[in-house]
Amino acid sequence: MKFLASNSMDKLSDNRFFQLNLKALTPYGFLLPFLCIFSIFGIFPLLFSVYLSFHAWNPVEGLDAMEYVGLENYHIALTDPWLWRSLKNTFWLAITSGVAQHLVAIPVAYILVSMGDRLRHWLTSAYFLPYITSTVAASLIFFNMYSPTSGIINQSLIVLADSTVFGWAFSWVNDFQPIRWLDDATLVKPSIAIMVFWKYTGFNIVLYT
């Protein structure tokens, strides 16, 4: 009897242990599909890129054609003036557009918090809409707006120049060719900064609310 009771207790203990382990492992089972996909499309490409940075390789020739070159690729990149120019432009864009986003987002968020729930939710959704807009779609919209011939910005300047009210302030438009916002080296960065500001300010407003 004691032997049977001991076996029963052992089986009951094993069943409980199995149930506890199964319950503890269940969340990881739900995470497994994401972890597999993230490992394949996230972690592996990152690690392979690091490995590849120390090699010279023509993908057409296959993996066997890889040639170890040490830090040569990094030396080429760091001595390339285009790299430093790109970093300079990126830093300029981050400062001019990023700082402006927060300077606008903080007071707007403060005003939204003081409003009623229905109006606040509606306005928050409206401000957040540019953020969820496709970057490709936003780029096409602003590309058309900046068009030298048919863009709404240049056309608006021409209309204002012909206006009897604001004509004095925009009379200079008649003396120049349409502004090429994306072709002029001095105007292209502010033009892109405006698009980035429009797209991401709403996201910061939501964060502050």
Residues in the chain: 209
Rounded average pLDDT over 97-104: 91
CA distance 136 to 192: 13
pLDDT over 90 at 158, yes or no: no
SS3 sequence, 11-53? HHHHHHHHHHHHHHHHHHHHHHHHHHHHHHHHHHHHHHHHHHC
Q: Is the dihedral of CA 19, 24, 30, 36 positive or negative?
A: negative
Tokens for 200, please give them: 């991401």
Q: Is residue 162 a contact partner of residue 177, using CB atoms and an 8 Å limit?
A: no
Q: Where are the domains of the chain?
A: 1-79, 81-146+181-209
Helical packing angle, 117-132 and 188-208, nearest 10°? 140
pLDDT of residue 159: 76
pLDDT band at 45 (very low <50, low <70, confident <90, very high): very high
Using CA atoms, how far apart are residues 3 and 109, in angstroms rounded to an integer? 72
115 pLDDT exceeds 50? Answer: yes
Mean pLDDT for the stretch of residues 61-66 = 81
SS3 170: coil
- Please indicate whether residue 19 or residue 29 has the higher confidence score (pLDDT): 29
What is the chain's mean pLDDT, rounded?
82
Of 181 and 27, the one with more pLDDT: 181
Spatial separation of the C-alpha atoms in residues 61 and 170, rounded to whole Å: 60
**Rounded-to-integer distance, Cα 53 and Cα 120, Å:** 49
pTM given for the model: 0.66
- Look at residue 172 and tell me whether its pLDDT is greater than 80: no
